[in-house]
Amino acid sequence: MKITDAKVIVTCPGRNFVTVKITTEDGLYGIGDATLNGREKSVVSYLEDYVLPALIGRDARRIEDIWQFVYRGPYWRRGPIGMTALAGVDVALWDIKAKAANMPLYQLLGGRSRDRIMTYTHANGEDIQATLKAVEKARSQGYDAIRVQCGIPGIDKIYGVPQGGKDYEPADADLPSEESWSTHKYLNFIPRVFAEIRREFGPDLHLLHDVHHRLTPIEAARLGKELEPYHLFWMEDPVAAENQEMFRLIRQHTTTPLAVGEVFNSIHDCRELIQNQLIDYIRTSVVHAGGITQMRRIADFASLWGVRTGSHGATDLSPVCMGAALHFDYWVPNFGIQEHMAHSDKMESVFTRAYRFEEGYFTPGEAPGHGVDINEEEAAKHPYQRASLPVNRLEDGTLWHW
């Protein structure tokens, strides 16, 4: 089953997506997501100039060998660009292999471990009252788990909280915009938000919160401790995770569960966090962590230490990634939860999908492969538009790295 063609499809139906399409001599093809939010063209160049030409003539069934070739072949390995490109190739090959076997991808991985996949959605509000309304809306849609983000008094813009009723899209400008941040205002306010939510909705709703890497370890420890009475499902990305040891200090001071990993691209990024049991959920995504092949290794390693999966699933991951993630979620024994942000109708017009959402839970569908396809004619109607993520400065003008 030799590879005869491999190409990249770039489209922007409301936001940019990069899709890898690999075709074999048998006429079978598979697609994979290779979107790196805010840096999409860097992955396109890496794929078109270096990776895809080297795949022509190779056996598409040799997924592991191709993964090792793309990963170990370059002297400069890992990194978000290389691993996102590799993920696009890897998922496309798994799609082909499952189609050739005429079975849904989760069956090829070993069969399902659960009947349905619990997901969490986002409830964002500019103030507490708006946030309570957003939580109620999510609950009415059947979600048992909700990530809560709220505007902070005295801070003009909050990453993750749209303004003026607009849809949430973090990449908000052609070039990076600059926003202001105050740690003490945030720390003083957020516990009040969760106190109000628990007062309104009671103890049974699973509540999550994303810190977006903005605290020091001791600040994160304080927040985790102050949120303990509200029994969060997890506190996500409390600190910048390049230094895995920082989580040790947080862990020493709070029993609030910790989640991290959406910006990780290698098992080495999370090895110490997992084996030292410094986190409870690993949030690596199929598209940024080298595809299904490495995600399986990360999950198996995490299972040895009681760490569960909680894969990233924001709208900067295309429906192709979501489809692959749901097949992975259906199979993985140590599953925790799956993030879900609904794609717009415009995005759905470019991609067809077999996965289904009902009352807060997903199933991946029974179509051969991962069940997601791309309409290339429709995709061509939406050309690439550069969009950048915002940059944050502290109130004194210091550039805050997060």
How many percent of the chain have pLDDT more than 90?
85
Report the alpha-carbon distance of residue 320 to residue 322 in Å, rounded.
5
At 230-271, the pLDDT tens digits run 999 999 999 998 889 999 999 999 999 999 999 999 999 999
212 among known catalytic residues: yes
Given a cut of 90, whether residue 162 has pLDDT beyond it is no
Q: Which of 122, 209, 212, 288 is catalytic?
A: 212
How many Å apart are CA 196 and CA 192, to the nearest integer? 6
**Radius of gyration over every alpha carbon of the chain, rounded to an integer in angstroms:** 21
Lowest-pLDDT choice from 20-24, 179-183, 192-196? 179-183
Please give the Cα distance from 45 to 66 (Å, whole number). 19
Given 159, 231, 253, 384, the catalytic residue: 159
Task: Give the Cβ contact number of residue 347 at 10 Å.
Answer: 19
pTM greater than the 0.85 cutoff: yes
- CB 206, CB 235: distance < 8 Å: no
How far apart, in Å, are the Cα atoms of 149 and each of 38, 275, 280, 300?
22, 30, 21, 31
Handedness of CA 85, 89, 90, 95 (dihedral sign): positive
Left, alpha or beta for 342 (phi > 0: left; psi -120 to 50: alpha)?
A: beta
- Indicate the helix (H) or strand (E) that contains 32: strand 29-33
Query: Which backbone phi and psi does 20 adopt, to 5 degrees?
Result: -95, 130
Please tell me the predicted confidence (pLDDT) of residue 395. 87
- Span 359-394, pLDDT tens digits: 899 999 999 999 999 999 999 999 999 998 888 888
Q: How confident is the model at residue 401 (pLDDT cuts 50, 70, 90)?
A: low
**Burial class of 165 by CB neighbour count within 10 A (0 to 12, 13 to 18, 19+):** exposed
How sure is the predictor about 402, in pLDDT bands with cuts at 50, 70 and 90? Answer: low
Which residues face 87 on adjacent strands? none
